[in-house]
């Protein structure tokens, strides 16, 4: 974080308090109507995007568990198939 704030300070010539404050960025967004619309749209789309991510993670976990179960069952079946009966 300090390297990033140092870089921003060097580029813009501001103190680190101005960078952390973010007051300048809010003024820029409030003055530009197009940018304000973009920010509002991004903020309003966070909830639907979160729902989609939650659904995708659920499917990923379910199929991950199923994949581990199936692969372990297949490995166990192959071990039984290769068994000569000497063990």
Query: So what's the pLDDT on residue 86?
Result: 63
pLDDT at 2 over 60: no
The answer to whether the beta carbons of residues 5 and 16 sit under 8 Å apart is: yes
The answer to whether the beta carbons of residues 57 and 50 sit under 8 Å apart is: no
More confident residue, 27 or 5: 27
Q: Model confidence over 34-59: pLDDT tens digits?
A: 888 888 899 999 999 999 999 999 99
pLDDT at 80 over 70: no
Query: In Å, how far are 82, 85, 86 from 76, measured between CA atoms?
Result: 10, 15, 17
Whole-model pTM: value is 0.51
């Amino acid at each position: 974080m300090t390297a990033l704030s140092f870089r921003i300070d060097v580029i813009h010539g501001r103190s680190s308090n101005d960078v952390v404050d973010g007051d300048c960025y809010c003024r820029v967004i409030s003055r530009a109507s197009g940018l304000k619309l973009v920010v509002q749209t991004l903020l309003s789309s966070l909830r639907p995007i979160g729902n989609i991510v939650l659904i995708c993670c659920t499917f990923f976990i379910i199929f991950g568990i199923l994949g581990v179960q199936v692969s372990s069952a297949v490995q166990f079946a192959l071990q039984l198939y290769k068994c000569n009966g000497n063990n």
